[in-house]
Amino acid sequence: MRKINQIKYLLLAAVFAILFASCETEFSNPNSVSADRVFETRDGMLAAAGGLQQIFSTTGVRWIVETPAVTTREVASTTTFQNMIELEEGGTSLPNANANVGGLWFTMIRVIKLAEQIEANVENVQLEAGTTSGLLAYAKFFKALAIGTLSQNFEQVVIETSSEATFVPRLEGYAKAIELLSEANTALSTPISKEFIDEITLGHYDLKNSIGAFSARYHLFAGNFSEAIAAANTVDLSVKSEFAYDANATNPIWARANSSAPNFKPRSHFGLPESLALSADDGRLSFYLGPAVDGVSPTHSGYTITGLTGFFVASSGPIPVYLPDEMHLIKAEAYARSGDLASAKSSLNEVLTDTDDIFGVNAGLPEYSGPDNPAAILDEIFKNRRAELYLTGVSLEDSRRFNRPEPSGSGSVFTEERNRNFYPYPDAERENNPNTPADPAK
């Protein structure tokens, strides 16, 4: 058993060497496992898949949630760390070297790279058919999530990795993510094996429903409204999908907001403007937001902050891969933008009146009774997306898509709903890739 554990440790170490290697220097070590050989064996392939999940669910989720949350005022910085100060001040002066911007970009690139390596090699390894199909779907799923994440935050993105990868407009990024999710779904026509479940998902999340949920999300973001509705309808809302954490891989948002030295705290009412104030009876306020924390204050004056509860109260607490009511909100928005207001209100009411959400995210409110026009209904959908999908990484995409007030481009205007439209490209990307485009204006 000790020998087996040593092999697994070496294989996982090799996976993380692939993810984080910054040079090609090699040192002779007779006990090491080469990066190339990771993808030649069953144990190596399973270790690579485990590494893919871990990098996305820990480091990836940190950047996915934290970075746009600061930009869109979901949270306020409570630290003097320069990266958080720069991000909160925003504007055209946000440095290309900002650690959050670089962390978000390069972690997603690493996820894409590892997913590509799994996809390219999985059929060359002797595995059960259902393990092969599961790993193929799994790699395509995480690659889609990484590309979709980049498309939410950057004006142009890369969809394949190389030293001189070409950039495409973000809508092409969504199209690629949707294509990958469709291919992942096709791969699952060969049912996944018990081995795949026992070794990879461990029963924590349902791959097929997760594929459907993100297909619905990216179709909506791409403006494909009928396709978004169809994909949302495929998702079984009674099934949980969660990223699991433990003492070795802790909940990354807990670590940033609820550890002994928090870097940020929620803004009251999720940072929404007064014109979109939530009802005091909205159950999501008490689900996500706790009382103020003694001795913790925002970096900049004028922000009222609270404690953070919900999915982030424990170091080992799980975080949903997606929330079921997002499917209702996707349908509500797609119907509203397609002119079917009756169906939009019906889907919206599923969220407003929810009292039995499987994750406990329940608004518990009366049905919508506001003006019966597209603008008012879309405002209500935006407000409910901010409350329901708090700290899920979609707030910057939402703020632009719902045409919330444009940022001025000036830094330190803390009354703005968002202080950037898109992030600048990291210095390290520009230095290594001549195809890197000009930074967005703001």
Whole-number Å distance between alpha carbons of 102 and 154: 12
Mean pLDDT across the chain, nearest whole number?
92
Tens digits of per-residue pLDDT, 271-302? 999 999 999 999 999 999 999 888 899 998 78
Tens digits of per-residue pLDDT, 43-72? 999 999 999 999 999 999 999 999 999 999
3-state secondary structure of 157: strand
Instruction: Report the 10 Å Cβ neighbour count for 251.
Output: 27
pLDDT value of position 331: 98
Assign 34 a pLDDT band (cuts: 50, 70, 90): low
pLDDT value of position 32: 40
Instruction: Report the 10 Å Cβ neighbour count for 309.
Output: 15
Q: Hunting for tokens 């924390």 — which residue is that?
A: 293
Amino acid of residue 265: K
C-alpha separations of 283 from 168, 174, 310 in Å: 41, 33, 11
Tens digits of per-residue pLDDT, 170-189? 999 999 999 999 999 999 99
pLDDT value of position 403: 98
Assign 1 a pLDDT band (cuts: 50, 70, 90): very low
219: closest CA among 175, 265, 278?
175
pLDDT value of position 36: 63
C-alpha separations of 385 from 31, 238, 297, 356, 398 in Å: 51, 20, 27, 18, 8
Cβ pair 292, 94 in contact under 8 A: no
Tens digits of per-residue pLDDT, 360-417? 999 999 999 999 999 999 999 999 999 999 999 999 999 999 999 999 999 999 999 9
Tell me which H or E stretch contains 427: helix 427-432
